[in-house]
């Protein structure tokens, strides 16, 4: 992971008073912000674009893992059968 949460840390009181500025910096940098409360990490805030990209990535990984589990069970299709399945989409 090339990003460290410690690079952009914002106390929750700053978020309350400077939310617009913090959100603008978040959008510009494209990196998440660690929100702290009483000196400890409480939440992470990220742009909608970043969140959606991450969700798409996780869904793709879950699909690959499901396919690998099927293959381990021997639930496989030959080439012709796989083409027919793909063409049905």
Three-state SS string over 27-78 comes to: HHHCCCEEEEECCEEEEEECCHHHHHHHHHHHHHHHHHHHHHHHHHCCCCCC
Q: What is the mean pLDDT of the chain?
A: 89
Pick from 2, 3, 59, 57: nearest CA to 34: 3
Q: Say yes or no to pLDDT of 3 above 70.
A: no
pLDDT per position as a tens digit, 9-37:
999 999 999 999 999 999 898 889 999 99
pTM: 0.64
Domains, the chain, in order of start with CATH, read: 5-46 (3.40.1620.10), 49-81 (no CATH)
Q: Say yes or no to pLDDT of 76 above 90.
A: no
Q: How confident is the model at residue 45 (pLDDT cuts 50, 70, 90)?
A: very high
Asked whether the beta carbons of 50 and 30 are under 8 A apart, the reply is yes
């Amino acid at each position: 992971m090339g990003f460290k949460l410690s690079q952009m840390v914002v106390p929750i009181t700053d978020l309350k008073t400077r939310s617009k500025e913090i959100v603008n910096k978040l959008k510009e940098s494209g990196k998440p912000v660690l929100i702290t409360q009483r000196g400890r990490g409480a939440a992470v805030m990220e742009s909608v674009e970043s969140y959606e990209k991450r969700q798409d990535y996780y869904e793709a990984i879950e699909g690959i893992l499901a396919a690998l589990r099927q293959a381990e069970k021997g639930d496989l299709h030959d080439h012709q059968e796989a083409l027919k399945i793909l063409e049905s989409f």
